[in-house]
Amino acid sequence: MLDILALLQVSAAFIGIGPFVFHWMRMKKYSNQSIKIPSEPSSWASLTIVLPVWNEEMVIKNKLEDLVKQDYPKDKMEILVIDSDSSDSTMEIFHKWKSESSHDVKVKSIQMPSRLGKSAAINRILVEPLNTDAIVITDADALLADGALRRIGRWLSDPNIGAVCGSQQILGNSEINHIIDEKTYRSFYHDLRIGESAVFSSPIFEGSLAAYRNSLVLGHQIDATYNADDSQLAVLVNRLGSRSIMDSELCFFEYLPTTKEAASIRRLRRANGLVHLFSRNKPSSFSSINRNFSRIMRMESWIHLIMPLLVLISLISMFFHIIFSTFSVIRDVPLQVNHTILLIIDSLILISLLFGNKLRIGQILRSFFISQWALILANFGMFRGVDYRYWEQDIESRKSLIER
Ligand code: GDP
Ligand code: MN
C-alpha cells in the first residue's frame, strides 16, 4: 500500500508539473528576446477607449481625468463609457464631468438596461458601428502610465499585431503575506506571457488595459456566460490569424485587494474564467491556423485543466502516505529508505508552505500551491456550473487609488 501511494504521489506530481516547468523554462528563455516595438508612425491609429463600469462612483472621475491627460492626438481618440445599470451615482458623476470638463476628447456613453456581467457589456460594444481603428478596454480601477496610448498606437502600426495588452504594476504595501504570494505568482505569470508573445501570441490577457484591432473583433461576440473577456478576445484574434501580445513596457497601475478574502475570491473568479476559456477553445482547432499558437494553447490547457487535478491526486496520496507511514512506525515496522526520503521531502514542502514567505523557494512553493488550489476549485466550480459573472468591487483598493 505504502509503495502504491508513494508511486502515485511522485508520478502524478511529475506528469502534472513537468510540462509546466518545461514550458516556463522555454518561455523564460524567449522572454529575453521580446519583439521590437515599431517606431512612431506618421499617422496614428484612431482609438475608442472603452470604459466598462458598474458601481464605480469612487473612481470614475479620477479615471476619466487620467485618460484625457494621456499624450495622444486628441482627434484620434474618443472615450466610450458602458454602464450596466449601476445602482450608485457613477453615471451622474460621469454626466456632470462630461458637461463641465474642458478637453478636446470626444466622450460618449452607452447605458445597458441591466447588469449581465462584463463579458456581456463587451459584446454590446462589439456590435457598435465604431469608425475607429481599435478599441482600448481599460478598467475603472487601473491608471495608465505616461505614454501608454502612444505605445498602443505604435504596436498597431504593425499590421501583424491584432491585440496588445499591458503589464500590471502593483501599487502599495508589499509586506502582507497574500500580497507577497500574489507578486511571486505574478512574476512567473509575466515571464510566461512575455515569452509566449515573443514566440507568437499570449492567449491570456490583462484586461485592465488591452487594445484590439476593430477590423478583427467588431461584429464578433464572446461567450457572455463566463468572464475572461480579455483572454477570450485575445484567442479570437488568433483564430482570425493575427497576433495578441503582452508588452512589458506598456504599464498600468493597480492596487491589489487588501484583505485575504477579497484576494482569494478574485483569484477564484479569474481562474474560473480561464478554465472555461481553455475548455471551450480546443488547442487542436488552432493547428491549421498557427502551429506555434496551437502549441502554446496545448501547454496552457494542460496548465489550467490537467495539472491542478494531478497536483490534487498527488497531495491526496501524500496525505495517506504520511498517515500510513506513521502507523508503520507506531507498530514498529521499519520504514524503507525511499519512504523515509519521501517523508523528508514532504516535510520540507509543508514547512516552506507554512513559513515560506521568508525564503524565495518557500514563496514560490506557496504561490504555486495557492494558484493550484484556485484552479482546482475553479474546475470543480465549472462542472457544478457556479456563476462568477457578478461580483462586488474591492472598495479598499479603490480608496487607496483616489487617495494617491
Ligand atoms: P478585477 O480587477 O478583476 O477585480 O475586477 P473589477 O472589479 O476591477 O472590475 C473590472 C472592470 O469591470 C471595472 O471597471 C468594473 O466597473 C467593470 N465591471 C464589472 N462588472 C461589470 C458589468 O456587469 N458591466 C459593466 N459594464 N462593467 C462591469
Ligand atoms: Mn480591478
- Whole-number pLDDT of residue 355: 79
Lining residues, ligand 1, CB within 6 Å: 52-54, 56, 82-84, 115, 117-118, 121, 139-141, 266, 393
Q: How far is the CA of 138 from the centre of ligand 2 (A)?
A: 9
Nearest to 149 by CA among 78, 255, 47, 18: 47
- Percent of the chain at pLDDT exceeding 70: 100
pLDDT of 133 above 80: yes
| Residue 352: per-residue pLDDT | 84
- Residue 1: pLDDT above 90? no
State the average pLDDT for the chain: 95
Check residues 404 and 310 and name the one with the higher pLDDT: 310
- pLDDT at res. 178: 82
Set of cell numbers at residue 113 = 438596461
Spacing, Cα 96 to ligand 2 middle (Å): 24
Confidence at 179, pLDDT banded by 50, 70, 90: confident
**Residue 260 confidence (pLDDT) above 90:** no
Residue 158 has pLDDT above 90, yes or no: yes
pLDDT above 80 (res 356): no
Residue 144: other Cβ atoms inside 10 A? 24
pLDDT of residue 184: 86
Model pLDDT, residue 271:
97
Kindly tell me if the per-residue pLDDT of 181 is higher than 90.
Answer: no
Ligand showing the shortest atom-to-Cα distance for residue 139:
1
**Measuring CA to CA, which residue among 179, 183, 204, 184 is closest to residue 194?**
204
Cβ neighbors of 96 (< 8 A, separation 6 or more) are none
Residue among 49, 54, 82, 204 whose CB has most ligand 1 atoms within 8 A, to mutate = 54
Distance, in Å, from the CA atom of 120 to the CA atom of 117, rounded to the nearest integer, reads 6
Q: Would you state the pLDDT for residue 281?
A: 97
Mean pLDDT, residues 154-175 taken together: 93
Which amino acid type is present at position 314?
Answer: S
Rounded Cα distance, 330 and 47, in Å: 70
Q: For residue 160, count CB atoms less than 10 angstroms from its CB and return exposed for 0-12, middle for 13-18, buried for 19 or more.
A: exposed
Atom 11, ligand 1: residue with shortest CA distance:
139
Q: What is the pLDDT of residues 207-258, one digit of tens each?
A: 999 999 999 999 999 999 999 999 999 999 999 999 999 999 999 999 998 8
Segment 319-343, tens digit of pLDDT: 999 999 999 999 998 889 999 999 9
- 4-29 per-position pLDDT tens digit: 999 999 999 999 999 999 999 999 99
Collect all residues with Cβ–Cβ distance below 8 Å to 51 and sequence separation of at least 6.
63, 64, 67, 79, 80, 81, 82, 138, 140
Residue-wise pLDDT tens digits, 233-247: 999 999 999 999 999
Q: Using an 8 Å Cβ cutoff, are 383 and 249 in contact? A: no
Task: Evaluate if residue 119 carries a pLDDT over 90.
Answer: yes
Alpha carbon nearest to ligand 1 atom 16, residue: 53
Ligand 1 atom nearest 139 alpha carbon: 14
Give the integer Cα–Cα distance in Å for 203 and 372: 19
The position carrying cell 507554512 is 354
pLDDT at 357 over 80: no
Looking at 67-208, which runs of residues are DSSP E strands? Answer: 77-84, 106-112, 134-138, 143-144, 161-171
- Position 176 pLDDT exceeds 90: no
Tens digits of residue pLDDT in 263-276: 899 999 999 999 99
Q: Which ligand has the nearest atom to the CA of 122?
A: 1
For atom 5 of ligand 1, which residue has the closest CA?
Answer: 393
Q: What is the pLDDT of residue 196?
A: 98
Residue 172's pLDDT band, with cuts at 50, 70 and 90, is: confident
**Pairing status of strand 209-213 against strand 161-171:** antiparallel
